[in-house]
Structure 1
Amino acid sequence: MNRLPDPHSRPRVWAIGISKLRDLFRDIVGEYDGRADLQLVSLGYEDAVRELQAAGPQRPDVVVAAGSNGTYLKARVDVPVVLVSPTGFDVMHALARARRDAASVALVTYGETPPEARRFAAAFGLDLLFASYRSAQDAEACVLDLRDRGVDAVVGPGLVTDIAARVGMAAVFLYSRASVRAAVDTALEVAQATWSEISRRQRVDNVLQHLRDGVAALDAQGRVEAINQRLAAALGIEPAAAVGRPLAELAPDLAQSALDTEGESLESVRGVSYVVHRGPLVERGVTSGMVLTFQESRAVERLDRTLRSRQRAQQFTARYRLDDLIGECDAIDHVRKLVRRYAKSDATVLVRGESGTGKEMIAQSLHQLSARRDFPFVAINCGAFPEALLESELFGYEEGAFTGARRGGKAGLIEAAHRGTLFLDEIGEMPLPLQSRLLRVLQEREVVRLGSTEPTRIDVRIVAATHRSLTEAVDTAEFRADLFYRLNILNIALPPLRERQADIVPLAAELLYQAARREPRLAAHVGTVDQAARVLAGVREPLCRHAWPGNVREVQNVIERVAVELADSGESGARGAPVLTVDVLRTIAPEVFDDATPVARALTLRQRSRRVEADEIRAALEACGGDRDRVCKMLGISKTTLWRKLNAAA
């Protein structure tokens, strides 16, 4: 194991050599005082190996050695070994020195004689003998053989020159300060590169350890190259013990296909279910391994629930504005005035109107114009859920409140609307038991989750909507009178479409324009609301004559059919803007021409106002037990006025 790099320390280099090489190391050691911790080790072969193994934390980052000693170390230690290599100038200089004092010279090298040396001797006509050795024993035998052959001088490494001097031969050391210095410089570069690699690996390992998922990197044979603590703990082993072992051996439960293919699969490891993702490790364009990430399936499920919760929170926004309300009749103008006025208040609003008249659009417009516009707009249809589910959705629940309750509990929609607006659509369909709980929310401005005893304070503005007559529901005991009075503080009544016939064609034109924006084949011909109105000009009469019992929603359905028909006719080759004819409309929307559908008499604003007053008077009579004197006193009107208002709305 290499030591971890310290930014304040110097690379530790051991210069291993004996005899003359040791002397050269000693000559240059002072040059590296500020750059390296250069230590001289006068040992060779097995002694040097034992010294390295015993060094422990003080072991070097790199070793510098030469000749057979360096080759021996390189094969037996896991520390980088840099060999001292003689330069061409070293060889020439050593040979020149040897020839000055001897007639016969031999160049002895470790391993094969360098071809450059042979070419050099041939080029200059030098009479040289070349010899090589593989071990210390070979070196001694080689020198003795050269002596017996009459060689006077030997040029070679320190081992060879020591033997030659001992047997009475002249000897010239092959290495120079320059070659030794070059080897030490190379060793420093190797140490820096090693440190950089260790730092990179350490950084990658830190990243792996901080990942919440289990991660393993495998080589091409499926053996573990790296593994983080989370996965090692899941496998029940230490990370260091996993490196180098096949993952299939560490996790026998893993299917072999999970290790051979890319992608994702659901696997079981020691009884725990994991989502395993596999991706290739590519080096220089070649796949050299695989990286696997293990994520507990339970964590994936929790994350999915969290994301769904956040996405739902992001959906608690109002999309419609008051400008989206189409119509210029007096009734719609009055509605706009009420919305702008009521938006300045936090009082509860009850929006009444038939299905499809735009009650939710009014509720969203109230929110958009209010001081709560930057907070949630939460809408719930009280008639779309079973009673038990509606209760948990509205009020939320604590963990363990009922079978299947989510771990940690869940906040209800009333809590989700905190500081914003809660829109209770079809409030008339709310079950009576929930009406009592809602009444307390409105009175106390606090909500208690199912299974909890601790109330949570809330700050919400309530907007309710209904298509039913709540006063009649109160009369039949289907709706609580006290809740009705809590809801009916501010009141907005939306007229049905049959009472605002002048707005039918403008509304249809706007809806056709919106449909054309979604249909590329029609967009070129219906680029504005005016163009849409011209397309519908030929069917104005039947559109205005129809009663539209489904109100705006029914108009939207018919216009969608019109848009599809016009787009198809334009695609079939018709030139210019398409025009809708009565015959085409009769074909695609025959209900518009149904003579059995009565055209209701439009109610004036005064008539609608009378109906609202009558509803309020009936509710007051119900609350007072039919005591008309008490009702007149409460409302500040006479008995004659009471009788007249009730009959005027009949």
Structure 2
Amino acid sequence: MLADMDIEIYELLEKAFDEFKGALVVDRNSRIVLLTRGYAEILGVDRKEAIGKPVTEVIPHSRMSEVLKSGEPEIAQVWEVKGETAIISRVPIKRGEEVIGVVAFSVFRGMDEVRDFLGRLRYLDAELNYYRSEVEKLRGARFSLENILGISPAINRVKEQLACIAKNDSTLLLTGETGTGKELFAHALHLSSKRRFGHLIKVNCAAIPDELLESELFGYEEGAFTGARKGGKPGKFELANRGTLFLDEIGEMPARLQAKLLRVLQDGEIERIGGTEPLQVDVRIVAATNKNLAELVRHRQFREDLYYRLNVIELHIPPLRERMEDIPCLVVHFIRELNHRLGVKVKGITPEVEEVFQSYHWPGNVRELYNVLERTMNVIQRDVIGLADINWFLPRVLSSSGRQTSRSSNTLRNLEAKIIHRVLESCNGNKSRAAEILGIHRSTIYNKLKRNNG
């Protein structure tokens, strides 16, 4: 019975598994050749009597024979016998390709140990997630797809497209009006891509003077110019190596640098100012603009060849007026964020304020909505934002109401009247003062009220 395996091996196995609650070994004929004390106690059998018996005589529903036949291990299986539950692994013992036995064992002495182990795993998983988020912060990206809020079909469609685009390395051009959140989408793309463990480096091409932008992007060697740092300085392309470079306001890039950027996109090479050797860089480019680059190309203000290199994939971020159903959830999120930032306790907005927000065309988009709430919450003295708290904003809404096309004229007239009445109340009925606050002529107030009452 023991011809296929050395007696010494069994003795070593017995000593090794003696500390475990359950361990046994069967030979090629499914006969028990090793049984630990703990295992025997669970089964309620005498160890000496069990040795040499077919395993199914001692354990009627044993799966040891199945593992002998398949030669495949069964890891961490739940096993119950006589009211005891254990996590058992069954592993074939092989000599070459031949299965000559099976060892079954549990690394836990009982389910309490299993629960303790799972608790430690959950703690380690939480700790790992914490450190992963900290690393991501250090690497420059702070917002994931989950941070892009909204329930509208328009925003969900863009999020779905972004998730697909993140799977590849193609250059991406983000387009959209000012304040739509293009940088937020660049962050989300980076964190959804295989480059998420690299850096996300951001450059605003409109914010850096032309004479400094080249050194910021491409770096410089020591002595390249007066005032150059000793040892030189790496540029943004080098810092973004194996990561993502976000070029915001790309339409503002000077023509001279457009040519250098084109070379990077074509050859994957940069050259520091004052350098003599090209440097290979592995960078994904994400560019963003609120301008019509095709129009700039037609007016020779942007290189056509660079435009086509950047516009491999274009993702248009919709303006807020095309996703008005997202305003309520954005307001809730911004109020929560501003409460924390400003140390206030605003609970929300009144239905009248929500109606105003839904009727406004938001030329500054999500950023304008945030700014309106921030300004209001800086001076509010109550816990709910009402019309009286946004008096300063109402003239802006009133002056834009004539440009609305998405709501009925009756709804807009009612809103105008409501705003005028609200301002008149705050001025104790003084129409001249109300006209001054609203930025309209006094006669306009009479005409709008007359039309609404008529």
Q: Is the TM value for this pair above 0.5? A: yes
Cα 1:423–1:501 change in 2 (3 A) is: same
Q: CA offsets per residue over residues 169-213 of structure 1, 9 Å max, x none? A: xxxxxxxxxxxxxxxxxxxxxxxxxxxxxxxxxxxxxxxxxxxxx
Q: Does 1:372 align with 2:186?
A: no
Do structure 1's residue 590 and structure 2's residue 394 form an aligned pair?
yes
CA separation of 1:598/1:411 partners in 2, compared to 1, >3 Å: closer, same or farther? farther
Q: Which of 324, 340, 351 in structure 2 is aligned with 1:537? A: 351
Q: 1:476 maps to what in 2?
A: 299
Alignment partner of 1:355 out of 168, 175, 178: 178
Q: Distance in 1 between matches of 2:186 and 2:236?
A: 16
Residue 511 of structure 1: which of 331, 334, 343 is its match?
A: 334
Rounded Cα–Cα distance in structure 2 between residues aligned with 1:591 and 1:466? 30
SS at match of 1:477: coil
1:161 aligned residue: none
What is the aligned counterpart of 1:501 among 324, 332, 342? 324
Equivalence for 2:283: 460
Relative distance call for 1:520 and 1:596 in structure 2 (3 A) is: closer
Q: Which amino acid aligns with 1:564?
A: N
- Confirm or deny that 1:437 pairs with 2:437: no
State the 1:329 CA deviation.
1.1
Q: For residues 350 and 505 of structure 1, do their structure 2 counterparts lie closer, same or farther at Cα, with a shift above 3 Å needed?
A: same
One-letter identity of the residue aligned with 1:554: E
Cα displacement (A) at 1:498: 1.4
Aligned length: 271
Distance 1:344 1:596 in 2: 41
For residues 490-547 of structure 1, the C-alpha deviation after alignment (integer angstroms, 9 at most, x for no partner) is 110011111222122321221111111223341xx63xxxxx3xx3433111111111
1:546–1:599: 8 Å Cα contact kept in structure 2? Answer: no
What's the offset of the Cα at 1:596?
4.0
Q: How far apart are residue 451 of structure 1 and its match?
A: 0.8
Structure 1 CA distance for aligned equivalents of residues 232 and 298 of structure 2: 38
Q: 1:336 to 1:442 in 2, by over 3 A?
A: same
How far the C-alpha of 1:316 sits from its partner, in A, is: 4.2
Q: 1:496 to 1:314 in 2, by over 3 A?
A: closer
1 CA distance for matches of 2:329 and 2:396? 17
Go from structure 1 to structure 2 and tell me whether the alpha carbon gap of 1:386 and 1:364 turns closer, same or farther (over 3 Å shift).
Answer: same
Counting only pairs closer than 5 Å after superposition, residues 574-613 of structure 1 correspond to structure 2 as 578-587=383-392, 589-596=393-400, 598-601=402-405
Q: Matched residue of 1:380: which SS? A: strand
Matched position secondary structure for 1:410: coil
Equivalent residue number for residue 168 of structure 2: 345
Between the aligned partners of 1:459 and 1:546, the Cα distance in structure 2 is 44
Indicate the SS of the match to 2:379.
helix
The correspondence for 1:384, drawn from 176, 195, 207, is 207
Residues 229-286 of structure 1: CA distance to partner in whole angstroms, max 9, x if unpaired? xxxxxxxxxxxxxxxxxxxxxxxxxxxxxxxxxxxxxxxxxxxxxxxxxxxxxxxxxx
1:595 alignment partner, SS class: helix
Map 1:57-68 to 2 at 5 A.
Answer: none
| Conserved 8 A contact 1:542-1:592 | no
The correspondence for 1:416, drawn from 236, 239, 247, is: 239
Secondary structure of 2:355's counterpart equals helix
1:319 maps onto 2:142 in alignment: yes
Q: Is the 8 A contact 2:139 2:197 kept in 1?
A: no
Q: Return the TM-score normalized by structure 1.
A: 0.40
Aligned counterpart for 1:489 among listed residues 283, 304, 312: 312
Structure-2 separation of matches of 1:591 and 1:315: 43
For 1:364, the aligned partner's letter is H
Please list the CA deviations of residues 613-635 of structure 1 after superposition, one character each: whole Å capped at 9, or x if unmatched.
xxxxxxxxxxxxxxxxxxxxxxx
Amino acid at match of 1:461: R
Q: CA–CA distance in 1 between the matches of 2:227 and 2:176?
A: 38
Following the alignment from structure 2 to structure 1, what is the Cα–Cα distance between the partners of residues 160 and 404? 26
Equivalent position amino acid for 1:492 in 2: L
Q: CA deviation at 1:599?
A: 4.1
> In structure 2, how many angstroms separate the alpha carbons of the residues matched to 1:596 and 1:559?
19
Q: Distance in 1 between matches of 2:167 and 2:293?
A: 25
Percent sequence identity over aligned pairs = 45
Residues of 2 paired with 1:363 and 1:488: CA distance? 15
How many Å apart are 1:330 and its aligned residue?
A: 1.2
Give yes or no for contact 1:348–1:487 (8 Å, CA) kept in 2.
yes
Q: Which runs of 5+ in 2 are unaligned?
A: 1-135, 407-454
Distance 2:335 2:360 in 1: 18
The equivalences for 1:252-271 within 5 A come to: none
Q: CA deviation at 1:600?
A: 4.8
For the structure 1 residues 379 and 563, does the alpha-carbon distance in structure 2 shift closer, same or farther, using more than 3 Å as the test? same
Q: 2:34 matched to which residue of 1?
A: none
- 1:133-174 superposed Cα distances (whole Å, 9 cap, x missing partner): xxxxxxxxxxxxxxxxxxxxxxxxxxxxxxxxxxxxxxxxxx
DSSP-derived class of the 1:465 partner: strand
> Matches of residues 8-47 of structure 1 in structure 2 within 5 Å?
none
Q: 2:90 maps to which residue?
A: none
**Amino acid paired to 1:428:** G
Distance across 1 between alignment mates of 2:246 and 2:350? 35
Q: Which residue does the alignment assign to 1:451?
A: 274
3-state SS of 2:245 partner: strand
Is the partner of 1:397 in helix, strand or coil?
coil
Check conservation: 1:380, 1:425, Cα contact below 8 A.
yes
DSSP 3-state at the match of 2:399: coil
Q: Distance in 2 between matches of 1:500 and 1:591?
A: 23
Matched, 1:426 2:252: no
Select the residue among 128, 149, 152 that pairs with 1:329: 152
1:401 pairs, out of 207, 211, 224, with: 224
Once the two structures are TM-superposed, the CA of residue 374 in structure 1 deviates from its matched residue by: 0.9
In the TM superposition, residue 462 of structure 1 has moved relative to its aligned partner by 0.5
CA distance in 2, matches of 1:392, 1:347: 25
Deviations along 1:350-392, whole A, 9 cap, x unmatched? 0000010000000000000001111100000011112120000
Alpha carbons of structure 1 residues 391 and 367: separation in structure 2 relative to 1, 3 Å: same
Distance change in 2, residues 1:598/1:410 (3 Å): farther
SS at match of 2:385: coil
Larger Rg: 1
Distance 1:331 1:596 in 2: 23
Would you say the 8 A contact 2:360–2:400 is kept in 1?
A: no
**Mapping for residues 273-292 of structure 1, pairs under 5 Å:** none
Quote the Cα distance in structure 2 between the aligned partners of 1:364 and 1:314: 11
Which structure 1 segments of 5+ residues have no match? Answer: 1-312, 527-531, 571-577, 603-650
Paired residues of 1:356 and 1:550 also in contact (CA < 8 A): yes
Rounded to whole Å, the distance in 1 between the matches of 2:402 and 2:319 is 14
1:411 alignment partner, SS class: coil
Q: Which residue pairs with 2:364 in the alignment?
A: 550
Secondary structure of the corresponding residue to residue 391 of structure 2:
helix
Trace 1:141-160 onto structure 2 (pairs within 5 A): none
Corresponding residue SS for 1:594: helix
Give the match's secondary structure for 2:259.
helix
1:323 Cα shift? 1.3
Q: Is the 1:427–1:464 Cα contact (8 Å) retained in structure 2?
A: yes
Residues in 2 aligned to 1:314 and 1:330: alpha-carbon distance in whole angstroms: 30
Which SS does the other structure have where 2:241 is aligned? coil
The Cα shift of 1:423 comes to: 0.2
Change (3 A) 1:315 1:433: farther
